[in-house]
Amino acid sequence: MEDRSEFESGTPPVPDGQLIAPPYPERIAAPPLSEPTAPPAYSPPVAPPDSPHGRAPRGRASFGALLAAALLGGVVGAAAIGGGLWALDRTLTAPTPTPSRGVTQASTATTLAMPTEPLEAVAAKVVPSVVNIAVESSGAFGSTSSAVGSGVIIRQDGYILTNNHVVEGATSIVVRLGTTDIPAKVVGTDPTSDLAVIKIDKTGLPAAVLGSSASLQVGETVIAVGSPFGLDKTVTSGIVSALHRTNLSQDQSGVTSYTNLIQTDAPINPGNSGGALADMSGAVVGINTLIYSPTGQLGTSQSAGIGFAIPVDFAKTIADQLVAGKKITHPYLGVSAATVTPAIAQYYSLPVDSGALIQQVSAGSPAEAAGLRVGDIIVRVDDHVIATSEDVFSAIRGSAIGQKITIEVARDTKRVTMDATLASDASVK
């Protein structure tokens, strides 16, 4: 269960392909939403039929087109009906939180303090470190497409952090510094986390101050900086609306995990992808990546006040590895699972009505070594209650390679607990 997206100027949104089978065993299958008239007995179950509802689209944006972000089950952790997450990417021309900055202790309650600096002072610190990224890609029948995204300067010697979907498939990348356009090259990408690092041949750049996302608090004031619809150096403000949002999206190239996302109501739009989400000290706390569209389509009310950013703590770890030329690896369990709903539970006479139904256990994987079986329903990983297959992925991706985790499953009418030591996914890529 471990994205990328494809952009073609002037083409309408299109759905993505089928879910990819292992070697990424944590990927999941879509559950059924209908019930048979005579449910079979529990045997254990096989893979449920595909959902007739499909997934919301995902992709890059332009004035003429936007491929929407693919969802497996909607916005995880939010009530999302009839909408979808959208990659903010390129546009034509256009664990328990600790008290953070901006939090003071009252005698009987914790209250949010006023911003530490005026918004204009914060913007003045962040804006110079956020750049416009213009990209050209090859299209169908020899055509080319042009688009724009954003990036954050992370080192004075020219390294820039952005989203993978901003530069994916690019044949030409140009970074705009003031009125100067400078060619850039890709240093490295990690499609499974939608992060990438590019570099320009320039020194003495205004590198951003990278803060910490671990201490963010809901309600904390933040600003978003980027190039919505190609309008570079755009600043908007809002608050941290929620934390620890998780979503999976995919296309024919692979599945992207968005884990522990920061949700904000700071207005962000297509083209903000790769830009900065900053706190009131002027430190970058997230990389803007997705927005939620109520209609699942590009329209006049594109910004719905629900945007998502990759936490900077995680993004910096990936960026450091990419700059060092290292291969990015992630924790690996080795199961393929589907979400159990009450309808599925009734259909298969399952012992629980929520959890992650194991459909495949990879040979030689930590899951096999731990004793997990096809038909087991994962209901808990360490202290994480598992209600969906996305919850399993989030728990695994939030752990470390070599870490021992405790997994509780429903097996027939019993509860079984076992330990698994997570491996690296390098061997299955």
What is the pLDDT averaged over residues 262-291?
Answer: 94
How many residues are given for the chain? 429
Q: What's the pLDDT at 87? A: 59
Q: Model confidence over 353-394: pLDDT tens digits?
A: 999 999 999 999 999 999 999 999 999 999 989 999 888 988
Which residue in 5, 100, 165, 213 is the catalytic one?
Answer: 165
- 64 touches 122 (CB < 8 A): no
> Residue ranges of the domains in the chain?
1-34+43-54+329-429, 55-328
53 included as an active-site residue: no
Q: Is the pLDDT confidence value at 18 over 80? A: no
Q: Which of 348 and 149 is assigned the larger pLDDT?
A: 149
Q: How far apart are CA 71 and CA 143, in angstroms?
A: 29
Q: What's the pLDDT at 365? A: 95
What is the pLDDT averaged over residues 398-407?
Answer: 92
- Report the percent of the chain where pLDDT is more than 70: 68
Q: Which CATH architecture fits 55-328?
A: Beta Barrel (2.40)
Q: What's the pLDDT at 55? A: 30
Task: Tell me which CATH code domain 1-34+43-54+329-429 carries.
Answer: 2.30.42.10
89 included as an active-site residue: no
Q: Model confidence over 227-265: pLDDT tens digits?
A: 999 999 999 999 999 998 877 665 555 667 787 899 999
Which residue in 129, 273, 303, 336 is the catalytic one?
Answer: 273
Q: Is the pLDDT confidence value at 163 over 90? A: yes
Q: What's the pLDDT at 79? A: 27
Q: Model confidence over 79-134: pLDDT tens digits?
A: 222 344 555 543 333 333 333 333 333 333 333 444 457 899 999 999 999 999 99
Q: What's the pLDDT at 32? A: 39
Q: What's the pLDDT at 194? A: 94
Instruction: Select, from the ranges 62-76, 158-172, 302-316, the one with the highest average predicted confidence (pLDDT).
Output: 158-172
The answer, yes or no, to whether the previous bond of 22 is cis (omega within 30 of 0) is no
What is the pLDDT averaged over residues 315-326?
Answer: 95
- Mean pLDDT, the chain, whole residue set: 76
- Greatest alpha-carbon pair distance for the chain in Å reads 70
69 beta partners: 85
165 included as an active-site residue: yes
Read off the pLDDT band of 397 (50, 70, 90).
confident
Give yes or no on whether 1-34+43-54+329-429 and 55-328 have one common fold.
Answer: no
Q: Model confidence over 322-352: pLDDT tens digits?
A: 999 998 888 999 999 999 999 999 988 999 9
146 beta partners: 136
